[in-house]
Every structure is written in structure tokens, then in C-alpha cells.
Amino acid sequence: MNTNEFQSEIGILFKDDRVLKEALTHRSYLNENKDWPYVHNERLEFLGDAVLELAVTRALFRAFPKEEEGKLTMMRAALVNSRMLAKIGKSIRLQEHLLLSGKKEDRAGKITATVLADAFEALVGAIYLDQGYDAAEKFIKDRVVSRIDEIKRKGYRDPKSVLQEKTHDALKITPTYKLLSESGPKHQKSFKAGVYFGEKLIAEGEGPSKQEAEEEAARKALTTIV
């Protein structure tokens, strides 16, 4: 696997490209390639998620010194949710370099927004390990924080935040979410989540990630109170 093209694409020359190869390795690839010398990218995803949240939080904190915590939280959520990260991943052609099971021509249906977002977080983790925090922060600013004008134009209030605000004002309660079920293989998971007012189930939602299932449940619940 030659990663030179991808390194050129993202503008980062790795000191040790083994960590990049790990970031590009999906768990499913190992099932069919037992001799592949690298582990899957889930540990790097875990690390990258933390680095991403810190870097975005720092950037927003500095850029909007007069904004309240609630609005900063909503802006951050809009920047780091799976749909946005998948969109950013596509912009750097990340999907073309991921290693998954099956034939390359059959991979399109396997690379869901969740798979691509997870891989982007793994890439951030790889950059952090290989280049240090400053390089990872610059990459995040260039690729993620730079989208702030886009989310401000489109509006950054996700349905969960809107539902929480409305239920607090109208009912003096905070909605809670529960994962009701999950199904499918690792690379094509489907989740069902429920939103509750107290012990009462108000609405259910489905999606390729828990976050998206909860957002869909919140979206449906909003129709019951507006």
C-alpha cells in the first residue's frame, strides 16, 4: 500500500507512514487479509475524537469570546458530527484510500457516513501521534474549523438542542435518550434510539449511528410539541 498520493492530498508528510496505514485500515479488512501487519483503526479513532474535540473547542473559544456556552456547544456539535466529518473526509478523497473487505468496486455501499467519519477521526489521531498536537490542530483548523461560516449560514441548531430548549420551556423537563436496538455488520450498523420525557417514550428514530438515530427521534418528537 503506497500512501504517498494521500499524504500529498492532505498536505502532510508522515515521519512513519505505518501509523497512517493503521488509520486507513477498517476492521472488516482484517477478516479477509490475515497477513496484514497493521491493526484496525478504532484505537486511533478513539484518540482522534479527543484531539478533534479539544482543537475545535479551543478554536471556538478564541474566535467567539462573547458567545455563551450553549451556543458554543451547538457550533462544536455541528462541526464534529458524523455528517460533517464524512463530508470533510470526502473532500480529501479519504474514501478512496480506506481499506475495507470485498472488492474495491463494491465498496461504495460499505463506506457509510459513519465509517468515513470514524476514519477521519482515526486520521486525526494518526497525525497527532506522528506530528504532534500543533500539526493536528493546524489540520483541524484548515479542514474542520474553516467550515464555521458554512454552518452559521445553514444554522447550527441540531434537533436535540432544539427539543431540549422547547421541553425545558414548555414542560420543565430534559429529554433523555436510550439505545433501543442495533443490527447489521460492523461496517453497516443500523441503530434505533428512543427519546423519553421522564419514563414515557415519545418517539423513535433510526440511523447508521447512535447520534443520527437520536437526532431522528428528536426530530419526530418536535412534531408532537410544536
Just list the catalytic residues: 49, 121
Instruction: For residues 207 and 205, give the distance between their C-alpha atoms in angstroms, rounded to a whole number.
Output: 7
116, 85 Cβ separation under 8 angstroms? yes
Query: Distance between CA atoms of 18 and 41, rounded to whole angstroms?
Result: 12
End-to-end CA distance of the chain: 53
Residue (of 117, 122, 98) closest to 45 by Cα position: 122
Give the other-Cβ count within 10 Å of 108's Cβ. 8
Between CA 89 and CA 113 the distance in angstroms is 9
